[in-house]
Amino acid sequence: MENKSFAKITKRERRAIEVLKEGGYFRRQLERVYGGREQFVYRLHDAAGRVVPGFGFQTQNRLHQVGALRSRACASSTVWPSEWELAS
């Protein structure tokens, strides 16, 4: 994680990295939203699997761009999940 762009991360992204260091992960899955339609949502989960509010696509995407995340295996499901953890 000695990437030069890693030094330019925001306070929110630093907080997300702290959660990820403690065993947390980002998860993308299909959810039903207001009006009955479905869309993919990104959520940050702590080590116990609880959702950490205030973190979503923008944070996950930015951390992925700077190389701070790597994909991890997760069980396949009808919600088409994908998960990412902190890259070592």
Q: Looking at the predicted structure, is the pLDDT value of residue 2 above 70?
A: no
Predicted TM-score of the model (pTM):
0.86
Q: What is the pLDDT of residues 5-51, one digit of tens each?
A: 566 889 999 999 999 999 999 999 999 988 999 999 999 999 999 99
State residue 7's pLDDT score. Answer: 65
CA distance 31 to 5: 32
Q: How far apart are the first and last CA of the chain?
A: 8
Q: Looking at the predicted structure, is the pLDDT value of residue 76 above 60?
A: yes
Are β-strands 82-86 and 25-32 bridged in parallel, bridged antiparallel, or unpaired? antiparallel
Q: What is the DSSP letter of 52?
A: E
Q: Looking at the predicted structure, is the pLDDT value of residue 58 above 50?
A: yes
